[in-house]
Structure 1
Amino acid sequence: MAVALALAGLSAAGAASAQEADPTAEPQDTQVDEIVVTGIRASIQSSIQQKRNADIVSDVISADDIGDLPASSIGEAIETITGASTHREKGGASEISIRGLGPFLGFATFNGREATNGSGDRSVNFNQFPSELISSVAIYKTQRADFVEGGVSGIIDMRTIQPLDFGRRRFQVDGRALWTDYDDKLIDPSGLGWRGTLSYIDQYDLGEAGRLGISIGVQSLETSNPEELFTSSSTWVACDGNQVVSATANCAEVSNASVLSGTPYYLIPGSRTYRQFTENDQRDAAFVALQWRPNDRVEVSLDYQSSQRIYTEDRQDLNFSETRRGVNNREVSDDGVLLYYTGNSSIESTPTYRIRDEQYEGGGLTVTWEARDDLTISADASFSSTYRSEMDRQTRMRSFNRDVYGNVTPGVINTNRVAYTFDYRGTDIPIITVDPAFDVNNHDYFSTNGRVRRDENVREHDIKSARLDAEYRRNDGMITSVAVGARISDMTYTDFDDRVEMSFTTAETSAANLACRRDFAQTGFLDNASGNSITSWAQFDPLCLFEALTGVEDTGRNADIRAIGNRDVEERTLAAYAMANFETELFALPFSGNFGLRVVNTDVTSRGLRSGIDVINNIDGTVSLVSTGTFETETFGGSSTAWLPSFNGTLALKDDTLLRVGVFRALSRPDPSALGAGRTIALAGGGSYATVEEAISGITANGNPAAEPLMSWNADVSYEYYPNADSMFSGAIYYKQFTGGFVPSVVNETYEIDGNTVVVPVIVDTATSDNSDLWGIELTAAYRFSSLPAPFDGLGVKGSYNYAESNFENHDLRLGDSVDAVTGVVTPGIVEPAGIFGLSTHVFSGSIYYEIGPVELQAIYKGRTEYFQKFVGSAAQNRYIRDTDTIDFRASYRVNSNLSFSFEASNLTDEPRIHDMPIPGSLREYNSYGPRYYLGFRFRY
């Protein structure tokens, strides 16, 4: 920026000198040239204009030209919109929360239609869509009756270019080199990644057949995503604080009732893990759109999108698998956080090779017919389909009192355990100090209990929908138009988890160990985290180990992939609406808007499998539970009908000042995966068990087919001021009242386990009948200092802030309140409930940009406070993400109207992502992924 300012100053001084050189020169004829606004300024102007013209409370980020959306990804573009915040995965923006409300309370559409994903929820996987091929992203914060139903917090709608509306030919090539800072830590770095995009838009005169527009875009990318983390298992228990734990036993769990009667407790997971891994990420995408106008009254639009993303992951874990064993010399905080203790555990080196293949296809056909000057009829048919397959090949190598050569292993006690201390007092991650006699970097010491797992998860999510709409326009009276419409949608969601597991003798494990060793794959492991005490460990090639033990590269699936955890869900939605648009006066001021009613009927059919269970005793002393192979199908269902009135009004206080109000009822449906009828059996960690009941730490329903949509009443008031094309100021107050929170419900179910009838309490997540409230404020400002003298007139700022509070409650699955499904009796929990999924009390995004001639510079800050992050697709305990602040930077230089260059950097402050569980302050995970840099060019013709 300093260089740009200096150059601008020299340029301005030169211009001034030229004028002063000939003060007697005759005045020249003045001619007003057309000012062409481009880049960041054009995007902001377009966004302001669309917000101003909208008939509801909304915020938009848009581009006047293809590829001009000012962000390296769709997620990062959205998080610059007022009130939007993202959860970061793989170093990039992922799930979107609107106004502090999690993804399950929002709704996302693509070209106005529902879209599928591979996560088991109803959000859109924004990483599947190239930002260069998206023209605009809007967040609608109040509802209209003609919107696709869904979205208590709002609707995110992504749009692609309509070629005839674009109105000009455009051929464009975008290329970017990608570099991840952490790649330098790798011993065998992946080098530069890349992303290439090719797009073409044109219009054709077909004579008597009208006009045809075509838009084609393709993109390919390949990059690496190195990460490093310290993590823990997702199952946490409360252990008895009075117990002196035997060195050969786990700490004893204590019930919620005992804690509430005065028994001290501490919170502890089943395992803790250091993880180092690299990832190779590849994506190929293609977008096609045709827009045909045979005459002035008919338009036909056809669009198709395809995206395939494949990533592979080489994951290396050092695992302390028995962190509940021998827990003594404890220091515990007042709220149960375990700060210090001594214990002993098996130590495992566990390499994993993961491959995920996610394929998306979607598209639709829209026909619009202006039957008369005052009547328009449109029909739309669309589909969206996502297939995701994720397969892990994992091998475990465990510590043992004899190394691979049969020699005594120093530091090992109780056959294969190692003593250690745990100290989490004032550091980023715990200081785990292993008995110095045991060297975690010595491959020889991981010589027993070889175990191979091949885990495959497949999810398929499909939506087929059709809608018919009609609008009748009037030329007189307060009502300017009336619209009616109907929509039908069929959604299916299926998934399965398949596990092939094998255990091996010490001799077999040692032989594989010797064949598949490798050096630690990086330097400086977790060097940005205070307290890190383990910077390397013995690593093994995951594919080599898998094949050395099994004899094959891939064992393949089980012959029978049926399991009691599988989901098979069908959902049919029928909806109809009527809406009127109006224009009138209120208090002698122009007043316009719409009101309407939408009715939505939802029917759910969910099928689940039930079977007997056999107990398998493994070589290492643990047990496995497997189905007997005889299954019965149980079918469950649910149905609901919702009436959704809405009203939106805009009062023009002045030519540049608007007051908007919105009152509406909204629904958010449960995630497709949350409608499953399957069961998940969790095993207690480590060791052998005297009884099956002791081995089973819990059975959890992986969904509730009877779950109804979450309903809310909503009210918004927004004040908006538009002083000029580059500037706007707005403030909004909003209120939402929900029906219910979430609390675990306990149901006794009978299972045949190892030939014996066992009654096990099953936890089902259910909604309460209580009302919950949320209120908030959001502020937005954009301003360009165009009144300042050159070169400072190119300076501009944009910022947004959202504040939200709610009494909504999500109770912890194991340690929170629970309700008996039969009696309705509530058993109080010992940990406080979480709030709404994704709710951050404070969310802020701000940017400063500067344009001087062909140079554009922009710095962006994004921050949000702590929030509850639910595990999508599986029932789990409460997880919290700590406060997050990131800084990004963008710069571009236009050589001419055809060629430009750009530089971008994200996460410049190397902000880690830190998880707590099951309460804030109780560390579960510390994840670090470093800054990322992009150097690109664009050629357009």
Structure 2
Amino acid sequence: MSGRVPLCAGVGIAALAFGLAPVQASAQAESAPPPVRPQAQNEAEIIVSGIRQSVLNAIERKRDSNQIMDSIVADDIGKLPDLTAVDALQRVPGVSITRDRGEGNGARIRGLGLVLSTIDGREAFTADGGRGYNLQDMPAELLGAIDVYKTPQANQIEGGVTGIIDMRTRLPFDFKSTTFSGNFRLRYADLADAFSPIVSGLFSTRWDTGIGEMGFLIAGVDQRRTFRSDVPAWNAAVSRSDLVPGKDVYLTSGDYETSIYGKRHRPGINTAFQWRPAPNFDFYAQAGFQSFSSKQQQYGLNVPLNAAVPARNQNTVVPGSVSLFPGTNDVQKVSFNNLTGVFAFGVERDTKDSNQQYAVGFKWELGNHHIALDASYMKSSNDLYYTELDLDFTPAVTTFDYGQAYPSVTFSGTDLLNPANYRYGKLSLNVNHYKGDSPALRIDDDIHIDNSFLTNIKVGGRINKRTLEFFDPVRFNKSTQNTSLAANPDLYQQMPFDDFISSGAVTTHAYLVANPALLGYKDFDDLRGILGVTSPVTTTPQSEFKIGETVKAGYVQLLFANENGLAFDGNVGVRYVNTKLDTDSFIRDSATGQISPYNQGNSYTDWLPSVNVRLKPMPDLFIRLAYSRTLTRPTTQQLAPSYTLVPATGRGSGGNPNLKPLRSRAFDISIEKYFGDKGSVFFAAFDRHVTNFIFSSTIPGVVIDGVTYEITTPVNGRYGKIRGFETGGQTFFDFLPGIFSGLGVQANYTYIHSETDQVVPGSKTALTGVPKHSLAGALLYEKGGLGMRLSYTWRSTVFTSVYNNPANAIGVGRSFAEGYDWLDGSISYDFNKNWTASLEFSNITGTNIRSNRGGETRPGDYNRDDRQILLGVRFKY
């Protein structure tokens, strides 16, 4: 389905149009319908709550904004429609997400991941070498809403070429009185065959004192998830002249398949204090914490097929075993005798993010001045521990078959459950540590102007200093004494999963693997001793770095409005930004091998103008026009000049402290039609021209410690273009009879055309990671305490990367992530105003996410993830 828009797109848009026809007729009968504010309805109107209330609140926020933006608003306390912030974003027009083990882990606005993440308007980050905040870390229960800004304003923090994602938490003055709520859910994952609890709660109160009104709020969540993923990965095709006499054919360079079983833990807490000593003065203090840890064990096979490395792949083809895909030179099936270099593995991989945010500030209305001051401090860390032990074996016959629904590798002639057929292979340890912090101070003044056209002048400034440090990394990859398994029987076990990918797959599953439970980092020295590895574990100082970044910004913004003739309003402004970088790292002398400290600085200044205009030809029809210049700075990992080396593969990577920021010029237009409290439709078009795109460049033949490496570093390219449109809407079918009047629908579609000449030299391609088509829709129902939501998302095939491939005339092959869809659903019932039961479903259809190396005859990766079912109960007093 990757080459076309799914049939359900037409069905959803047709249903939306059918639902809006009578609504539009009703809206036209009104002389001036008010903004979508359900609380202002009279007794004759429909009283809304829950799902419908959240949809209408999001519509109202979009309508009243001075920018082109979209929102997701929680149904109730702790009730965004998904478990994490990034999963909730997949239904926003123009937003697509990437997935990790069945849950979202990154978001793209209009095709690009050059997004600024903020929490309550403050820049947020996760110290993992990137620049933004890991949206996967944020439990949805802590949020009241998520705003996606697609056009900037001068008073907003710079840093997102394609937009800003602002996660809004709750404050005690958001509630009229003391409020206490809780939510308990039990999650079942079908592949892991395990249950995991999710608990969240909120308490908020406010009270009068002799020195003004005060309020306090605390909200917490503890999400746990047991999961399993099956991930076979087929490497890029290489030319082989030894398979078919007198003919060059193309065969993948090997198979790497793994079953991953793990447990994730996502706790979070928000606290807030507010004090209003006078009607014109508000003081607040906030603190937030989010953590995300994943402990996973991996079991699998590595079956290399690289004829270019004869020492690793001494093999002979079984005569008559080779067949090709019809009409191609791509191998469909082949068998080898005594294939060397094959190993099974066991892996323990543990990661943890920890994020903290603190803020104090005030808002003061002084005459025609609205002064705001905000001081914040953010702190983050990220740790990775990866341990692997390989079990080498040489199967008598190995058969690769790519002609099935799932490509497979099978072994014959060797008993793979007999320990005597294995020997211990390499032992590996990789350790990463990141830590960073970011203090910031911001002051803003919104000055009201008594003028018939100019309404406000906004001025302000911000200073922010961010530090990120990468320290004590370990890269350990050593061979054992290659002893038999019999000497240490506790270190291995049988592969625990016999249903890899699907019950119909023919990939061999009955084999032995190292026991990941015994590969913990704390026991690594004992493990080295047992396996006879004498090389000590040491850090790699040439990979360490510390980057300091200081940003000073100021802005002026004018707000205007006209109510005579053609009504319009908007803003125009400019933001000044100075960025200063200071990089401390280590550099190795290529001649002597000596490592020495290295320091480099860099600085640049930007002027970022923006214009947002909203035309109002009718009270319920808006036309928005926007122009802006934006920037996104390189990630800290891209800036660090230090090397990360992998001797086993002869590859390495390093950063580039001379990278320039990505800068863009953007034009936007949006047409929005609103229908009172019934819904809305919209059409928006956009054009982005981005310069200084960052691409990878490979330097071959770099010799370090006697090993020759290919070093990949980031470099600035010339340009990238993004053009497209998004359209959609939402409505409720109030005109239907009886129980059917509770129905509603949401639908949106995005088309993106991207272009660059930097990915493949001499050829124009799409930008990597940008889907041409994406679609989201939801069927809604709410009536009599019953609420239901069925949500569908789909995106088309995406160009992801290039690889060296002599089969292609331009010297490179192209990899693609195939299009896929995702279906979620939920049912809830309100027993009364205080208690609600819910049943939720994720990945209902059991989607498998796939990639290819240029077509069906060259498979890439496959990802099979859990279906999830959640049963819960929620209360609120």
Q: TM tier, shorter chain?
A: 0.7 to 0.9
1:542 aligns with 2:553: no
| Partner AA of 1:432 in structure 2 | V
- Give the match for residue 484 of structure 1: 459
Q: Is the CA contact 2:480–2:532 (under 8 Å) kept in the aligned structure 1?
A: no
| Partner AA of 2:364 in structure 1 | W
- Give the match for residue 182 of structure 2: 173
In 2: Cα distance, 1:552 partner to 1:474 partner:
78
Equivalent residues in 2 for 1:543-622 (5 A)? Answer: 543-544=517-518, 549-551=527-529, 560-585=538-563, 588-611=565-588
- Give the match for residue 187 of structure 1: none
Q: Secondary structure at the match of 1:910?
A: coil
User: Which digits, 9 at most, give the CA deviation of each residue in 1:633-679, with x for residues without a partner?
Assistant: 22233322221110001111111111111111111211221111122
User: Which digits, 9 at most, give the CA deviation of each residue in 1:118-167, with x for residues without a partner?
Assistant: 44223322232221220010111111001100112111101011211332
User: Which digits, 9 at most, give the CA deviation of each residue in 1:302-326, with x for residues without a partner?
Assistant: 1111122332112112221454435
- 1:904 corresponds, among 840, 850, 866, to 840
Q: Is the CA contact 2:836–2:874 (under 8 Å) kept in the aligned structure 1?
A: yes
Q: Secondary structure at the match of 1:194?
A: strand
In 2: Cα distance, 1:870 partner to 1:81 partner:
26
- Give the match for residue 793 of structure 1: 741
User: Which digits, 9 at most, give the CA deviation of each residue in 1:361-415, with x for residues without a partner?
Assistant: 1121122222x22012211111222211111222111115xxxxxxxxxx54xxx
Change (3 A) 1:509 1:440: closer
Q: Is the CA contact 1:182–1:930 (under 8 Å) kept in the aligned structure 2?
A: yes
Q: Which moved more, 1:357-366 or 1:555-564?
A: 555-564
- 1:206 corresponds, among 206, 209, 217, to 209
Change (3 A) 1:637 1:99: same
User: Which digits, 9 at most, give the CA deviation of each residue in 1:799-828, with x for residues without a partner?
Assistant: 1110000113552xxxx53xxxxxxxxxx6
Q: Which moved more, 1:192-201 or 1:305-314?
A: 305-314
- 1:734 corresponds, among 682, 686, 690, to 686
- Give the match for residue 60 of structure 1: 71
Equivalent residues in 2 for 1:57-136 (5 A)? Answer: 57-63=68-74, 65-101=76-112, 103=113, 105-136=114-145
- Give the match for residue 374 of structure 1: 368
- Cα distance, 1:486 vs. partner? 1.1
In 2: Cα distance, 1:703 partner to 1:565 partner:
10
In 2: Cα distance, 1:494 partner to 1:652 partner:
50
In 2: Cα distance, 1:501 partner to 1:80 partner:
43
User: Which digits, 9 at most, give the CA deviation of each residue in 1:20-62, with x for residues without a partner?
Assistant: xxxxxxxxxxx94786421110100100111110111110111
Change (3 A) 1:634 1:266: farther
- Cα distance, 1:709 vs. partner? 1.2
- Cα distance, 1:741 vs. partner? 4.1
| Partner AA of 1:347 in structure 2 | V
State the TM-score, normalizing by the size of structure 1.
Answer: 0.80
In 2: Cα distance, 1:385 partner to 1:870 partner:
33
Which 5+ residue runs of structure 1 have no aligned equivalent?
1-30, 185-190, 247-262, 401-410, 413-418, 615-626, 686-695, 818-827
Q: Is the CA contact 1:525–1:536 (under 8 Å) kept in the aligned structure 2?
A: no
In 1: Cα distance, 2:846 partner to 2:532 partner:
37
- Give the match for residue 518 of structure 1: 493
1:457 aligns with 2:432: yes
1:636 aligns with 2:585: no
The root-mean-square deviation of aligned C-alpha atoms, in Å, is 3.1
Q: Which moved more, 1:799-808 or 1:541-550?
A: 541-550
- Cα distance, 1:531 vs. partner? 5.5
- Cα distance, 1:80 vs. partner? 1.2
In 2: Cα distance, 1:83 partner to 1:782 partner:
15
1:46 aligns with 2:47: no
Q: Secondary structure at the match of 2:738?
A: coil
In 1: Cα distance, 2:268 partner to 2:851 partner:
33
Q: Is the CA contact 1:592–1:649 (under 8 Å) kept in the aligned structure 2?
A: yes
1:927 aligns with 2:863: yes
Q: Is the CA contact 1:568–1:608 (under 8 Å) kept in the aligned structure 2?
A: yes
State the TM-score, normalizing by the size of structure 2.
Answer: 0.86
- Give the match for residue 809 of structure 2: none
Q: Which moved more, 1:70-79 or 1:916-925?
A: 916-925
Change (3 A) 1:837 1:461: farther
Q: Secondary structure at the match of 1:192?
A: strand
Change (3 A) 1:267 1:550: same
Q: Is the CA contact 2:476–2:537 (under 8 Å) kept in the aligned structure 1?
A: no
In 2: Cα distance, 1:195 partner to 1:223 partner:
8
| Partner AA of 2:386 in structure 1 | D
Q: Which moved more, 1:664-673 or 1:735-744?
A: 735-744
In 2: Cα distance, 1:763 partner to 1:852 partner:
58
1:866 aligns with 2:797: yes
Q: Secondary structure at the match of 1:658?
A: strand
Q: Is the CA contact 2:609–2:629 (under 8 Å) kept in the aligned structure 1?
A: yes
Equivalent residues in 2 for 1:491-502 (5 A)? Answer: 491-496=466-471, 497-502=473-478
In 1: Cα distance, 2:799 partner to 2:373 partner:
40
Q: Is the CA contact 1:866–1:881 (under 8 Å) kept in the aligned structure 2?
A: yes
Change (3 A) 1:51 1:605: same
Q: Is the CA contact 2:50–2:76 (under 8 Å) kept in the aligned structure 1?
A: no
1:716 aligns with 2:725: no
- Give the match for residue 264 of structure 2: 281
User: Which digits, 9 at most, give the CA deviation of each residue in 1:810-854, with x for residues without a partner?
Assistant: 52xxxx53xxxxxxxxxx6xxx77633431101111000111201
Q: Which moved more, 1:196-205 or 1:273-282?
A: 273-282
- Give the match for residue 677 of structure 1: 641
1:351 aligns with 2:346: yes
Q: Secondary structure at the match of 1:70?
A: coil
In 2: Cα distance, 1:879 partner to 1:378 partner:
49
1:197 aligns with 2:173: no
| Partner AA of 1:671 in structure 2 | T
In 1: Cα distance, 2:92 partner to 2:685 partner:
17
- Give the match for residue 404 of structure 1: none
User: Which digits, 9 at most, give the CA deviation of each residue in 1:671-705, with x for residues without a partner?
Assistant: 221111122345465xxxxxxxxxx4x544x2221
In 2: Cα distance, 1:613 partner to 1:443 partner:
44
Q: Is the CA contact 2:671–2:682 (under 8 Å) kept in the aligned structure 1?
A: yes
In 1: Cα distance, 2:393 partner to 2:241 partner:
30
Q: How many residues align?
A: 809
Q: Is the CA contact 1:454–1:555 (under 8 Å) kept in the aligned structure 2?
A: no
Q: Secondary structure at the match of 2:154?
A: coil
In 1: Cα distance, 2:95 partner to 2:869 partner:
24
- Give the match for residue 224 of structure 2: 222
Q: Is the CA contact 2:701–2:709 (under 8 Å) kept in the aligned structure 1?
A: yes
Which 5+ residue runs of structure 2 have no aligned equivalent?
1-41, 308-312, 803-811
- Give the match for residue 168 of structure 2: 159
Q: Secondary structure at the match of 2:543?
A: coil
| Partner AA of 1:507 in structure 2 | T
Change (3 A) 1:110 1:554: farther
- Cα distance, 1:439 vs. partner? 3.0
| Partner AA of 1:198 in structure 2 | G
- Give the match for residue 764 of structure 1: 713
1:474 aligns with 2:453: no
User: Which digits, 9 at most, give the CA deviation of each residue in 1:517-558, with x for residues without a partner?
Assistant: 434323422116x75422332234224477674358999996
In 2: Cα distance, 1:741 partner to 1:280 partner:
37
Q: Secondary structure at the match of 1:807?
A: strand
- 1:361 corresponds, among 347, 356, 359, to 356
Change (3 A) 1:97 1:709: same
